[in-house]
Structures are given as structure tokens and as C-alpha cells.
Structure 1
Amino acid sequence: MTLPILYHCADARSLRCLWAVEEAGIDVDLRLLRFPPRAFEPDYRAVNPLMTVPGWVEDGRLMTESAAICERIAEGTDLAVRRDEPDHWEWRNWLHRSDATLTFPLAIMLRYTRVEPEERRLAQAVADYKAFFGGRARSIEAALGDGREWLVAGRFTAADIVIGYAAFLATTLDAGDVLGDATKVWLDRCTAREGFRRARERQKL
């Protein structure tokens, strides 16, 4: 049996997928790349013309969206919230929110603090998008404010992985201070999981 291939850069959005793999207990052929691939991994274009990570190749098909890949990994496991469960559509909404609403402003911050050369870095853009993220991160706080341990379904799911990654990324960009108190406690719970720890250990080049 041919294993799915996961192309990954350390702590990039593809960490969602590697974390999900570890939580689901499935095996993959992990290919570690330097970040950003467009600068350091020219051969990767033949796999993913977008030159982004993750790249998930299974049965000859390429997937490039981290939340969609996590949904694929979660299928048939407790990381998924089934259609017959009350929180199914809330779960799906969190999967989409993870990138479209939460990771997008962080990607702007990352670009203008680390990716661009010094002369092109924009402190105002970083400040503006940090505030943008902070406003949208209130949705996490609201979901957890009633004392919930996890976001949906009364258990740890892929929603916690994809949203947890966004919150984790914020802490690496000096934006952890905009997270609410309940969000910080939940994030500590997420990152203390063995699956998260194994994923971060496995990603070392």
C-alpha cells in the first residue's frame, strides 16, 4: 500500500496536517521542506505549482488546503463530527474559519516580519493585521466562554487542531496577547497533547 505523502515546512500551516496525522494514528510519507518553498525548494513546483505547503498527495491526487486535508485525515475517526451529530455544521464552519478568517491576517504579519527583506517590512501592516486577528479571535473566546473544554461535540476534534494552529501561530508572531483568557487555557490544553508534541518533534530537519 502506498502511503499518502505530506509536504511540510516546520510550523507552517502544514503543521495542522501533521498534527492531525499524529492524532489519528495514521502513517504518511513525510517530506520536509525549507520555508518558503518558492525560495528554497524549486523542485517542489512539479508537485504543487502553487509552491505552498501543505501538499498532500494520495492516489495520484494533490490537495493543498490545510483544513481540507485535516478533514480528509479526520474521516472515519473521532476527529470528525459526523453528519448525524448536532455539531456537524458548527464543526465544518470552524474548519473554514481557521484559514479564511483567522490565519489570513497572521499570514500578512508573517510576511512583513520575517519573509520580506528588512527594507520591505511594514510595521504598520503588522499592527493593523494584529488588531484584525484580535477582533476575529474573539469568536474562539466566545465559543469557550461557557466553560467548554473543546470547541465542539464535547471532545477534541479537527476543529481544535485547525483553530489551535491559528492560535499557536499567533503566539509565535507576538500576537498571543490578543487572545482571551479562556482561549489561552484551551490553547495550552491543545499544545500539551502528545499528538501536537510528536508532530513538532517529527518536523525537525
Structure 2
Amino acid sequence: MSDLHLYTHPMSRGRIARWMLEELGEPYETEIIAFGPQMKAEGYRRINPMGKVPAIRHGDTVVTECAAICAYLADAFPEAGLAPALNRRGDYYRWMFFAAGPLEAAVTNRSLNVEVPQERKGMVGYGSFETVMDTLEKALSGRQFVAGDRFSAADVYVGAHVGWGLQFGSIEKRPAFEAYFSALSARPAYQRARALDDAAVAELQKTTA
């Protein structure tokens, strides 16, 4: 049995963790946690008290939150080369947590039609949706990777947000975003992860039909 375990649902942010695990190339076990009673049950809440997926267990270590999962796995398996050297991690941390904070908050609020009053914009971490989109566009324009000259865990996390946003219309289809995600989505690990999750969705649909 592998000491890496993924708790997920194929129609969730668990797809990000799956992609990261496929980039590692290490064996791992998967447990699909159903939305509703199973995800909120006491047994799973011992893994994630929030009753949400994804989560990973690596030996005795449990990690939740997608950005934390990506950062942890990159450090736990350095041979995969998914994190820059410590003295070159400025952009790596910056953009990974930009996506976890300002980007996700701005996109979520826009999707929910939450309008922050002009005089209150200083109270929200992202300022405005337009500022976030412009900042992200500048970061990705003319670059294959978001942090340096090679693929990293930051690209998994930022790329997943960009790809999801482009697919569902929550992120504007700017050329820089489309070019960035097009290259990432051609990666073999991304294709494997997507196929695994799509197959899991199909299996769930059969059992509930």
C-alpha cells in the first residue's frame, strides 16, 4: 500500500490535487468521498474538520487546502523538481498564494454578483476584479511558466484556476490566459489526471442512474 492517500471527489477542487500527484509520479491511493452525509460524517471530519475535499494523507501527515497540498507535496518529494531552490521562491510563493487569495476571492465574488462599494475596496484583499485580472495578465504575458523558467507546483495551482475560469467563464478569455493554459493542459500529467477524474465522474453517474 502507498503511504500517499488522496481524499477527493472528481467534481471538486480535488482535481487540482490529482494533477499535482500525477506530476509527482509517485504511487498513491484514491478515496472518493461523496458530497453530503459522507463528506460531513465524523469519520471524514477527522481528516478535514471542514468536511470538504480534497485532502491528502502522507504517512501520519494530513494536509488540506489545495495550495497547501501543492506546496507540501513539492517539498515532500524534491526529486520531482516541482519547487525552485529556496532562494528563488519569491515568484513561486507569490503567485501560488495570489491565486489562493486575491484571485479566488475576486472570481468568487464576481460569480456571486457581490459588488464591493468603491469606498470599501480597501477592505478586501483583491481590491477589484479588474485589478486582479490585469495583474494576472501581466504575470503570464509572454511567459510559459508563472515562476521562473521551468514548470513548478505554482503552475499546477495557478494553471488550474485559469483553466477552470476559462472553461466556465469566470475568468476573461484574454490571450495571455489562453496561451498559458493551453501549454499546461498538454502536459501528460494533466491529461492523466483529467482522464482519471472524468472516468470517476462517469462511474458515479452510472451508480446514481
TM-score bracket for this pair, using the shorter chain length: 0.7 to 0.9
Letter in 2 for 1:181: P
The structure with the larger Rg is 2
| Aligned match for 1:149, one of 144, 152, 158 | 144
Q: State the 1:109 CA deviation.
A: 6.2
Deviations 1:155-193 (A, max 9, x none): 1111111011111221233224x1421111111111121
| Gapped regions of structure 2 (runs ≥ 5) | 118-127, 201-209
Structure 2: distance between partners of 1:41 and 1:152: 34
Quote the residue 1:139 is aligned against: 135
Normalization by structure 1: what TM-score? 0.78
8 Å contact kept, 2:39–2:52:
no
| Aligned match for 2:39, one of 38, 41, 44 | 41
Relative to structure 1, is the Cα distance of residues 100 and 158 closer, same or farther in structure 2, using a 3 angstrom cutoff?
same
8 Å contact kept, 1:134–1:179:
no
What is the total number of aligned residue pairs between the two structures? 184
8 Å contact kept, 1:7–1:31:
yes
Quote the residue 2:14 is aligned against: 14
Structure 2: distance between partners of 1:138 and 1:39: 41
- State the secondary structure of the residue aligned to 1:41: helix
Letter in 2 for 1:81: P
8 Å contact kept, 2:67–2:96:
yes
Normalization by structure 2: what TM-score? 0.76
- State the secondary structure of the residue aligned to 1:7: strand
Deviations 1:63-109 (A, max 9, x none): 11111111122121321111133xx1111111211211112344456
Q: Over the residues paired in the alignment, what is the CA RMSD in angstroms?
A: 2.5
| Gapped regions of structure 1 (runs ≥ 5) | 113-123
- State the secondary structure of the residue aligned to 1:30: strand
Relative to structure 1, is the Cα distance of residues 171 and 33 closer, same or farther in structure 2, using a 3 angstrom cutoff?
farther
Relative to structure 1, is the Cα distance of residues 68 and 42 closer, same or farther in structure 2, using a 3 angstrom cutoff?
closer
Structure 2: distance between partners of 1:171 and 1:40: 31
Structure 2: distance between partners of 1:106 and 1:14: 18
